[in-house]
Amino acid sequence: MADLFVIEAPFKAQLLEGILRELHVDAKVQATRGHFMSMPGKLRPLGIDCRMREFMRVPANPEVFMRLRDMARSADNLYIATDADQEGDVIAWDVYEAVRDIHPSPARVRLKSMDHASIREAIAAAGPVEKAAAVPGRARGIIDRMIGGVFGSPEVPAGRVSTAILGLVASRGLSVTKVRLAAPSKDRGRPWLAEFDLAAPLDLPTAERLAKLDLPPLGSRGSPVVHPTKPSHTGDILVRAGDRLDISPAEAAASLQRSYEAGRMSYPRAGSRGMTPETAKQIAGIFRKSGWTAVKTENFAAKGEDETHEAPHPIGAVDPRLNPGRLGQDEGVRTLVAADLVKAGMEHKRETAFAQDLAPFLRAQGLPGEVADFVAGLRPGRDGATLTWHREHGPAYPGQEVWARSGIERRRPDTVLLEAVVKAGLGRPSTWPRHVQTFMDRGLADDDLKLTPRGRAWVEGSYAPLLDPRLSAAIEVACERVDPSLFDDPDREPWEVMVDQIVNLLPPSVRDPLREAVAHEPPRQKIDWVGKLDARPDLVGRLAQYVSRPEYAPDL
């Protein structure tokens, strides 16, 4: 009998089945078609009891649920190869619970890429399905549903991440204008550079005037020091694609995904800025053969032990020397990733300039004292950071601008917003593009990222504590801490215990409404969907109606 592999997307299922056949693996592949179990799309009723159990959580596609069980009965071995991220871990555990009476020990396969070598390695490294891996995703889903259902309204929806992004735009004054100033060096070497977002005390006319000035030569503050460049994580790549290729975060993410599914890119939704020694050695070897001899294995930052994925990187041949803007969107993004990795594999040093002498020069040009002092690094900007002038020393790398000049760049608003979202710790690599796209599509901010009348009305209509990005980021971090004590209560799932603990730690203004919303719901027993559907096949059709129409609530 053939083995059975379970994956999420039907297209990937077809691709994986073909590759397995070429690898001489006798297997069938079944797609879950997204989430295997789900709550109703509507947020009210919450469907969460007083002990944080999602009692309205049902098979998302009852026919797929039953088909998977049928296929599992005839399979010699079961491999769960859903995405190796938190959503995939949730689906993997749901699938395990649906088939564990048939296959008590299915293997968890974490695919790094959809190429032959990566799939072969992933199968060889398969391990058990771990309940602990599903805890962050399940806990986050419960909290996010509670926040949306309790604090949202038909006029102004609420979301732990979406409302925090609204607050970020309302409070931070994000700038879509990047200013770069260049000053000559007293040693006649490479010019010194200073880059900053346009903000007080500067306005656009002042910045344009600065960019046209011939600034005086600057001297060095000291010897150059090693300044490593880490490989880019998903957020970095999406920002670079916006700046270099003028595409949205959603478009760049789609390109990464297509390259991943074609076996030409590693896993594309990674928060790591590091690599394993094996991958670093492989990439360094490829680049050195292409003429980038300064790329060394030891220069790549290492992946953290607690990180599931490495920084995204190309699989197969790629030429970093090519202009990404002339290669088409998918190959352009892929080549851009490769070019940045070349630099990450080299050793560069950064030298800082003594820029204080710029202040009297700029005052003599008639510029305000606060502007002169900011440019000279004598006073911080609005974000509290002091401007530094620097230059780079080291081997050449793709896309390097050796003799830079002053200038002003207008950036895409969605790219700027994504950069701020990542920096604030909002969301995750898999959700960043969607959150940014949703915010822009709602018309809450204009092309300068200034709130529109609709955006200001949403701020007024939002629950004030949720507008603070720090609350959302803190919940995000808390959901990652899977302590063994979460599993101590035999009557509760670990994610239910985690949600209880997190809600208790929230500010009273948030904690109390959440508690009140579920206090009236008595504790529910966990539903055995395997036994229920096996005993009553007629429920499959009724359940399908319930999933598509939550208001239709048969006695399930």
pLDDT in tens, 330-365: 999 999 999 999 999 999 999 999 999 999 999 999
In a domain, 430, yes or no: no
16 lies in the same domain as 125: yes
Give the residue-averaged pLDDT of 524-530: 87
357 lies in the same domain as 215: yes
Least confident of 120-134, 497-511, 523-537: 523-537
Banded pLDDT at 257 (limits 50, 70, 90): very high
Q: Are 191 and 401 in contact (CB under 8 A)?
A: no
In a domain, 44, yes or no: yes
Q: Are 333 and 252 in contact (CB under 8 A)?
A: yes
Domain limit, last residue, from 345, 380, 397: 345
112 lies in the same domain as 30: yes
Q: Are 261 and 12 in contact (CB under 8 A)?
A: yes
**Number of Cβ atoms within 10 Å of the Cβ of 386:** 11
Query: What's residue 554's pLDDT?
Result: 43
Selection from 37, 166, 20 nearest residue 79 by Cα: 20
Banded pLDDT at 542 (limits 50, 70, 90): confident
207 lies in the same domain as 353: yes
Query: What's residue 450's pLDDT?
Result: 96
In a domain, 381, yes or no: yes
The fraction of the chain above a pLDDT of 70, given in percent, is 97
Domain limit, last residue, from 345, 364, 391: 345
Task: Please say if the pLDDT value at position 555 is more than 80.
Answer: no
Query: What's residue 244's pLDDT?
Result: 95
**Residue pLDDT, tens place only, 433-487:** 999 999 999 999 999 999 999 999 999 999 999 999 999 999 999 999 999 999 9
Task: Please say if the pLDDT value at position 12 is more than 90.
Answer: no
CA distance linking residue 339 with residue 344, whole number of Å:
9
Please list the residues that pair with 4 across neighbouring strands.
28, 78
190 lies in the same domain as 116: no
Query: What's residue 548's pLDDT?
Result: 59
Query: What's residue 90's pLDDT?
Result: 96
In a domain, 494, yes or no: no
181 lies in the same domain as 33: no
360 lies in the same domain as 269: no
**Number of Cβ atoms within 10 Å of the Cβ of 483:** 13
In a domain, 120, yes or no: yes
> What CATH number is given to the structural domain containing 106?
3.40.50.140
Residue 54 DSSP class: B
119 lies in the same domain as 1: yes
Q: Are 406 and 417 in contact (CB under 8 A)?
A: no
Banded pLDDT at 515 (limits 50, 70, 90): very high
**Residue pLDDT, tens place only, 32-83:** 998 999 998 889 899 999 999 999 999 988 889 999 999 999 999 999 999 8
322 lies in the same domain as 376: no
Query: What's residue 358's pLDDT?
Result: 95
Task: Please say if the pLDDT value at position 537 is more than 80.
Answer: no
For residue 253 the two structure tokens come to 């993410």
Give the residue-averaged pLDDT of 252-269: 93
Query: What's residue 534's pLDDT?
Result: 79
| Helix (H/G/I), strand (E/B), else coil: 343 | helix
Q: For the whole model, what pTM was predicted?
A: 0.93
Please list the residues that pair with 93 across neighbouring strands.
none
**Residue pLDDT, tens place only, 157-195:** 999 999 999 999 999 889 999 999 999 999 999 999 999
In a domain, 209, yes or no: yes
395 lies in the same domain as 318: no
275 lies in the same domain as 311: yes
In a domain, 522, yes or no: no
| Helix (H/G/I), strand (E/B), else coil: 408 | strand
Peptide bond into 484 cis (omega under 30): no
Task: Please say if the pLDDT value at position 396 is more than 70.
Answer: yes
Domain hosting 298: range is: 234-345
CA dihedral over 228, 230, 236, 237, signed as positive or negative: positive
In a domain, 496, yes or no: no
390 lies in the same domain as 320: no
Q: Which residues contact 496 (CB under 8 A, 6 or more apart)?
A: 51, 52, 53, 142
Least confident of 89-93, 103-107, 418-422, 537-541: 537-541
User: How many domains does the structure of the chain reveal?
Assistant: 3
In whole numbers, what is the pLDDT of the chain averaged over residues? 92
Domain limit, last residue, from 345, 367, 402: 345
Peptide bond into 45 cis (omega under 30): yes
Query: What's residue 549's pLDDT?
Result: 57
